[in-house]
Amino acid sequence: MSSLMLLHDLLQDARLLGGREAIVHGERSHTYGDLVRAVEALAGRLAAAGIERGDRVAIYLPKSFEECAAIFAISRADAVFVPVNPSLKPAQVRHILVDCGARVLLSSAPMLSKLEGALDDLGDLQILPCDGDGAEDGPTAPAAKAIGEDLAAILYTSGSTGRPKGVMLSHRNLLAGTRIVRTYLGIGPDERILSVLPFSFDYGLNQLLTAVEQRAALVLCEFRIGDELVRALSRHRITGLAGVPTIWALLTRAAPTLARTPLPRLRYVTNSGGAVPTATVKRLRQLLPDTRIFLMYGLTEAFRSTFLPPEEVDRRPSSIGKAIPECEVFPVTADGRRARPGEPGILVHRGPTVSLGYWNRPEDTARVLRPNPLLPGGRGGDIVCWSGDLVVQDEEGYLTFVARDDGMIKSSGYRISPSEVEEVLMAAGGLREVAVIGLPDEWIGQKVHAVAVADGAPADIPAILREAASKLPVYMVPKAIELVGALPTTPNGKVDYKRLLAERT
């Protein structure tokens, strides 16, 4: 393959391998030829719809061949793709479309019907159907003018406060992430990779990009109980599976067929999106003795950051490992120096996957993307990514996660902003005050828990939860609302989240 600069360059010359299997979904199988044709056809439709360089095109589709094609087609049409997680509720979908100023939304009738008219007043938004029925003999999009430094994608993710923010990734970021992850996982053309995570998640997107880069096959899979996942692994002769802690909990504790299903082709599994409990890692090693386990760590703001080599997993199952290739990762203390071994510090990441910051949020960006603390700009210092995750590094250089330095909740692989949940609970009525925290949970990492003060009359908790469930995706809905007389406060009058948490753990 010649040099790659833009995301859709990953499909360069794929036509020559036209008959090779690219995307498998249920009974449907699509070749690289199909993928290239679908990408060209959709890029042509986007150009005909007036899409120009740098325009944002959102994708709100179920996991499908069409969604895969849309990601490359938007790049091909010189635009920026914004994948929207299909499990989001109308208000969150609307937030993303408004926030990024999307000009076009690629969706389908069944998906649009779930939005209950939430987009009806977005007059500037064009909705283009993307359901596989589009003609393939339409116009051809002009050659893309973007260069590698241009914006390729905006991935929405939550922080500790406010609504989700859009992390801006350049073509170079995405290509570097693809190359780096493919290198350390040793992904080759014969791989059959299972995709169970949403493409709106940088880690989930990576399975698509690494598979396409290598002309490997990507098998799209939805499952509801562990045995269905085991069946997909076996039936599709899967060689690589990327999951979040919830998936390992399901496989090790709720998939009775795993122990009696040989999976000789499953070469590797990877985890990201939160730590896997050591007991689960051990059980996974027993159930999959010939499978290499890669424990990874990353944040969307720097795409991917560290991984623990499989040969270290038995010795240090709670470590997040060391920096991924081409990158440097180290802990920095509050006073701005590199932490000594054993001394906690905020994980700082430098390298080609450091994103371009948050869309339209210069102040938030300045908090996360900062000048290299160890080397001034005038001496060649670069811009690095401040993770907000407290870690320690041991004498051998292995990193271990300690804690977040803020109240952000991590549940089922998702980042959840307490204030976003609080806002919805308050709007439901009946509460005077509410604080949302994450309590440890052996299945999902942290469970969302609300501590609230009722507003006079007894609060109708089921009604509030019902309202929350209609406004929030399932992973954000509190598992319980606990009523108390008053919320503890810090000396300067703010809700004392640390104390709320300490009292309940």
Partner 1 sequence: MPDGQGSVSAEPALSEAVAFQAIKTFLETGAAGAFAKPIDMNTPLLGSGLDSLSILQLMIFLGEQLHVEIEEPDFVEENFATVGTLATYVVAKRNGR
Q: Is 223 in the site for partner 1 (CB under 8 A)?
A: yes
Cβ(326)–Cβ(351) under 8 Å?
yes
Stretch that binds partner 1, among 127-135, 146-154, 373-381, 460-468 (CB under 8 A): 460-468
Q: Which of 109, 133, 224, 379 binds partner 1 (CB under 8 A)?
A: 224
**Residue closer to partner 1, measured from CB, 87 or 400:** 87
Q: Any residues with CB less than 8 A from the CB of 183 and at least 6 apart, and which?
A: 325
In the complex, the smallest distance separating the C-beta of residue 141 from partner 1, rounded to whole angstroms, is: 35
Kindly tell me which of 262 and 462 has the beta carbon lying closer to partner 1.
Answer: 462
- Among 98, 225, 366, 383, indicate the residue that binds partner 1 (CB under 8 A): 225
Q: What is the smallest separation between the CB atom of 278 and partner 1, expressed in angstroms? A: 19
Nearest residue to 445 (alpha-carbon basis) of 491, 413, 418, 468: 413
Calpha distance 277→297 (Å, rounded): 14
Residue nearer to partner 1 on the CB measure, 383 or 463: 463
| 227 is an interface residue for partner 1 by CB under 8 A | yes
The yes or no reply on residue 465 touching partner 1 (CB under 8 A) is yes
Nearer to partner 1, 248 or 307 (CB): 248
> Is 68 or 444 the residue whose CB approaches partner 1 more closely?
444
Q: Does 479 bind partner 1 (CB under 8 A)?
A: yes
What does the DSSP assignment read for 390-420?
A: EEEE-TTS-EEEEEESS--EEETTEEE-HHH
What is the Cα–Cα distance from 131 to 64, expressed in whole angstroms? 9
Nearest one of 3, 5, 352, 13 to 146, comparing CA atoms: 5
Is 76 a binding residue for partner 1 by CB under 8 A? The answer is no
194 sits near partner 1 (criterion: CB under 8 A) = no
Using CB under 8 A, pick the residue from 477, 487, 495, 500 that binds partner 1.
477
Binding footprint of partner 1, residue count (CB under 8 A): 35
| The two structure tokens encoding residue 346 | 């905020």
Token output for 212: 């396409």
**How far is 186 from 180, CA to CA, in rounded Å?**
10
Residues whose CB falls within 8 Å of the CB of residue 150, separated by 6 or more in sequence, listed in order: 53, 54, 170, 171
Residue with smaller CB distance to partner 1, 106 or 229: 229
For residue 1, the minimal CB distance to partner 1 (Å) is: 36
- Which residue, 186 or 256, is less far from partner 1 as judged by CB? 256
Among 97, 444, 451, 500, binds partner 1 (CB under 8 A): 444
Query: Does 443 contact partner 1 by CB under 8 A?
Result: yes
CB under 8 Å, gap of 24 or more: what pairs does 372-379 form?
373/332, 373/336, 373/337, 373/348, 374/332, 374/337, 374/338
Least spacing, CB of residue 371 vs partner 1, in Å: 39
Query: Does residue 441 belong to the site contacting partner 1 (CB under 8 A)?
Result: yes
Q: In the complex with partner 1, which residue's Cβ is closer, 227 or 423?
A: 227
Other CB atoms within a 10 A radius of the CB of residue 240 amount to 26
**C-alpha distance across the termini of the chain, in Å:** 53
Contact code string over 241-260 relative to partner 1, x by CB under 8 A: -----xx-xx--xxxx----
Residue 253 Cβ, how far from partner 1 at the closest point, in Å? 6
Q: What DSSP string runs through 204-233?
A: HHHHHHHHHHHT-EEEE---SSHHHHHHHH
In the stretch 86-125, what mask flags binding to partner 1 with x, by CB under 8 A? -x-x------------------------x-----------
Query: How far is Cα 283 from Cα 279, in angstroms, rounded to an integer?
Result: 6
Contact window for partner 1 (CB under 8 A) among 15-23, 25-33, 323-331, 458-466 = 458-466
Whole-number Å distance between alpha carbons of 315 and 400:
13
**332 in helix, strand or coil?**
strand
The stretches of 216-342 forming alpha helices (DSSP H) are: 226-235, 245-253, 278-287
- Closer to partner 1 at the Cβ: 177 or 438? 438
- Alpha-carbon distance of 304 to 300, in angstroms, equals 7
The residue (of 23 and 251) whose beta carbon lies closer to partner 1 is 251
Site residues for partner 1, window 27-46 (CB under 8 A)? none
Map residues 400-439 to x or -, x wherever contact with partner 1 holds by CB under 8 A: ------------x---------------------------
Helices 245-253/226-235 angle, 10° precision: 90
Based on the shown chain and the rule CB under 8 A, indicate whether residue 475 belongs to the binding site for partner 1.
Answer: yes
Is 271 a binding residue for partner 1 by CB under 8 A? The answer is no
CB 244 within 8 A of CB 274: yes
151-157 and 126-129 beta bridge pairing: unpaired
The full DSSP string for 353-372 is T----BTT-HHHHHHHEEE-
Minimum distance from residue 412 beta carbon to partner 1 (Å): 5
Residues that bind partner 1 (CB under 8 A): 87, 89, 114, 222-229, 246-247, 249-250, 253-256, 412, 441, 443-444, 447, 462, 465-466, 468-470, 474-475, 477, 479-480
